[in-house]
Amino acid sequence: MKHIELTEFEIALEKVLHHTTPITTTEFVSIFEANTRVLAQDLFCQKPLPSFDNSAMDGYAVLRSDAGKRVKIADTSFAGDHLSELQVTQGVCHKIMTGAIVPTGADAIVPFEDAQVISPTEIMLPTKIKKSAHIRFLGEETHIKDRLLTQGTYLRAAELALLASQGVSSVKVFSKPKVAVISSGNELVEPWDQAKPHQIYNSNSIGIFSFLQTLGAKPTYIGALPDDKEVLKDSVEKLTHFDLVVSSGGVSVGEADYTAEIFEEAGLEIIIHGINTKPGKHGMFGKMGTTYVLGLPGNPLSSMSMFLTFVAPLFSKLSGRESFYPNYLYARVKEEFSIKANKSHIIHGTVKNGEFQAFNNYKYSSGMLTPLTQSNSYIVTNKECRGFKKGEWVKVILHSEMNTSENISFKSSN
């Protein structure tokens, strides 16, 4: 039986990211197609925000010196009107709608509800009016040549709206990494086939495939391959045009676990094979020419856990993102539970109302899927951790935080 040398979790993650080089090819896409893409250029302000002084409220454009006085209503300014000739003078105000240009001379906006209507053409102003109240001034958000977005920014709705505000209709982004998904194992049957009693349906591939789609990838599913050296060899040799290959199964040290061996024969430089963590002990990472390979264990929970903690950050860096570690939040442990020391643990559970509850109090196996379907988050411990007491603070990462953002340490605050 082949011996594998275990790498500590944090060191393994550092090695994976250290050896991952972002892709450099780029393309221009419409902003309607740029969601979840990665910006490949710095973008600067071309049109100040706001681009003119405008009202933040429906109300009256007034002079503060008229506070507490009756004033005449001269005109009305609507959003989109170009009324440069409008001017507020002593004893005179103008109705103004949200987003409309502030008339010349006005130094405050009084909301409709704060003024007393005397007649259709006259109002009484409040006795106190704050300077510049409810006025949004030209350039107060961004000025010409301000840096708006940096290369490596992960584009979402907010960023795309900002681009649209600058009149940008297409944007330069990094090309999407080409990702292949494969599984191996004689026991595997695809969900659309009929499984015999001694067979299991291939759940890993659809889980990995879907996770990759969540990250913004367009993965290619190669299939579930048998534990046959010749079939595996033929399939592996056809994967070199992909940027990343994610496989599940066959990376252990059993007599029929050929995946690592076949990849190595095809030119894979194995950087990591074996991680001192539960689940995911037999995870593998390497590079085959220009193709990165991540071999995940065959047990469903092991495979999914390794995806969350290794594939997601790797894919984010490969995509050109400037940040690729997950965001986290602090929560208190809801119920005390213990774990075995000497290895890191990936523990799934639910965070709610500021408390983290480990799924089934961390009594589950790596062959299960329900710890994922009935959890919304996970924690990662260091190898010295022996468990958590009720009320203890831990760093919790939401499953939805695969769209990573901030460089953090996975180590638990134990």
List residues bridging with 346 in a β-sheet. Answer: 380
Cα angle for residues 299, 21, 294 (degrees, 5° grid): 15
- Can you give the pLDDT at residue 1? 44
pLDDT at 3: 64
Contact 295, 258 (CB under 8 A): no
Alpha helices in 237-336 (DSSP H): 259-265, 300-306, 312-318
Beta bridge partners of 357: 350
**3-state DSSP: the chain helix, strand, coil percent, rounded to 5?**
20, 30, 50
Helices (H), 89-142: none
Residue 90 is predicted with a pLDDT of 95
Rounded CA separation 173/39 (Å): 4
| Alpha-helix runs per DSSP H in 299-413 | 300-306, 312-318, 370-373
The pLDDT of residue 406 is: 42
Amino acid at 110: V
User: Three-state SS for 167?
Assistant: coil
Copy the structure tokens of residue 159.
Answer: 């960023």
Q: Give the Cβ contact number of residue 6 at 10 Å.
A: 15
Query: Structure pTM?
Result: 0.82
Q: Do domains 26-48+141-174 and 54-136 have the same CATH topology?
A: no
**What per-residue confidence (pLDDT) applies to 265?**
87
> Looking at the domain 7-25+176-318, which fold is it?
Molybdenum Cofactor Biosythetic Enzyme; Chain A (3.40.980)
Separation of alpha carbons 7 and 282, rounded Å:
10
Low-confidence ranges of the chain (pLDDT < 50): 1, 254-256, 404-414
What is residue 312's predicted lDDT score, i.e. its pLDDT?
Answer: 93
Those residues with Cβ within 8 angstroms of residue 135's Cβ, 6 or more apart along the chain or in another chain = 53, 54, 55, 56, 102, 106, 107, 108, 109
* CATH architecture for residues 54-136: Beta Complex (2.170)
Homologous superfamily (CATH) of 26-48+141-174 is: Molybdopterin biosynthesis moea protein, domain 2 (3.90.105.10)
- Tell me yes or no: is domain 329-402 CATH 3.40.140.10: no
Residue spans of the domains in the chain: they are: 7-25+176-318, 26-48+141-174, 54-136, 329-402
